[in-house]
Structure 1
Amino acid sequence: MSAKPLMVKPHMPHPALPGADWADCFELQVPKSDLTAIAAARAMLGRFPPWVRLLMSLRNSVTSIFGLKSTGSDLAGNKETIGFFPIVSQSDDQVVLGFDDRHLDFRVVIDVRDDGRGRRLVDTTTLVKRKILLGRIYIALITPFHRLIVARMLADFGRRMNSASLPASP
């Protein structure tokens, strides 16, 4: 089983952010049949590699000039977070993370579902509703980094899930 996520067409409009005008979706098949969405979200987003933290720090420095929210505690307010992102809603099969800012509204939706063969499919959908020109420019600039980060983090998660499901060697 491959740990490589596939980019798939996102479902639009999406109930997590009905007005979204930008989206992407990656899908990954994992061997663990009892995986919940919250467990998948925590495993994928609970610890960012140093290079991602560095990019997020750079992002925060640049966006603060424009008065935008930075990743971290000021996004969450009093909400529980996973990684940098406040939890909007959660169930066993879906977690919605995200926030609204002046330039855009942002959601990450992590869905898990059975594939009918004792495995789970994990979908990570990013939804954005760009509100002003700055939101459009921001998304245009960060899209290549966003896709690299999501694909890498899903692939790392898939490798961890696959190695955890392998029987121990004698």
Structure 2
Amino acid sequence: MNARDEALAKLVRLGALSAANGRKPDHVDIHRVRGAVGLRPFVAGLMGRRPGWLRLLYRVRAVLARLLGLQQAKQPPTDVRAEDVPMTPGDRLSVFTVVAADADSHWVAEGADKHLRAVLAVLVTPEQDGRNRFDVVTVVEYLHWTGPVYFNLIRPFHHLVVWRLARTAAKG
């Protein structure tokens, strides 16, 4: 089983994809990094770092969102600490609501707007050298015609953002 199918199977077992009603997701990607940090510090680094280039991308996104009539979410917080990462289903971090979490193995959250529903998951696998492998998984389901328009415009930036933030988060 490849990494994508393995991650999707785990998300289904965790109940994170139940809202898709058996539909195949419209987009799935996985960014894999390794680091000597735990899950909560990793998620804090992933969600709480906002370098200048990313703040600029959020401003460009705001213009695109306005043109498509989407919600105008504020820029995510920049002061997320490991102890701030919620682990209880229903709790929120930025635009995401926690769906499932276990400090040793996974953190899964979802965010939705009228155009799409996105699941963000961090799946952790301990490695023999004492480090952790982090699979950062994004699953997108389009809900409206504006979903594929929006996501296909931001897709190249999505990959860059997730990859760079994951690499930095893994360093601690």
TM-score with structure 2 length normalisation? 0.73
More helix by share: 2
Q: Is the 8 A contact 1:68 1:101 kept in 2?
A: yes
1:101-155 CA-to-partner distances (Å, cap 9, x unmatched) read: 1111011101222123322111100110012221111121111100011111122
Q: AA paired with 1:110?
A: V
Corresponding residue for residue 135 of structure 2: 123
Q: Matched residue of 1:65: which SS?
A: helix
Corresponding residue for residue 9 of structure 1: 4
Show the 5 A alignment for 1:1-170: 9=4, 11-12=7-8, 14-15=11-12, 16-18=16-18, 19=20, 20-32=25-37, 35=38, 37-72=39-74, 79-81=91-93, 84-89=94-99, 90-92=101-103, 93-158=105-170, 160-161=171-172
Distance in 2 separating the partners of 1:55 and 1:64: 14
1:13-54 CA-to-partner distances (Å, cap 9, x unmatched) read: 64223432211001111134xx1x232111222121111111
Q: Is the 8 A contact 1:56 1:71 kept in 2?
A: no
The structure-2 alpha-carbon separation of the partners of 1:114 and 1:24, relative to structure 1 and needing over 3 Å to count, comes to same
Q: Which runs of 5+ in 1 are unaligned?
A: 1-7, 162-170
| Equivalent residues, number | 145
Sequence identity percentage: 24
Q: AA paired with 2:68?
A: F
RMSD: 2.4
